[in-house]
Amino acid sequence: MKTYTVDEIAEALKLHPYTVRRLCREEKIPAFKAGGQWRFDLEEVEKWVKSKRKKKRS
């Protein structure tokens, strides 16, 4: 499984890395810690984004 860093996810979502870290701490974005750093599975993040889009349209 390929994992992504905070900076990579921040760039993909066009968010500041601090915002991504805050979302992680608040458990609002799917992430896990590995070696003290937040890591992301891209498929899980994509599902999260799609679920947020559906809620916004409703």
Query: Using one digit for the tens of pLDDT, what is the confidence trace for 4-41?
Result: 999 999 999 999 999 999 999 999 999 999 999 999 99
pLDDT band at 58 (very low <50, low <70, confident <90, very high): low
Averaged pLDDT, 44-52: 91
pLDDT of 53 reads 82
Q: Are 38 and 21 in contact, with CB atoms under 8 Å apart?
A: yes
Give the full edge-to-edge strand order of the sheet including 32-34.
Answer: 3-4, 37-41, 32-34
DSSP per residue, 1-58: --EE-HHHHHHHHT--HHHHHHHHHTT-S--EEETTEEEEEHHHHHHHHHHHHHHHH-
The CATH class, in words, for 3-57 is mainly alpha
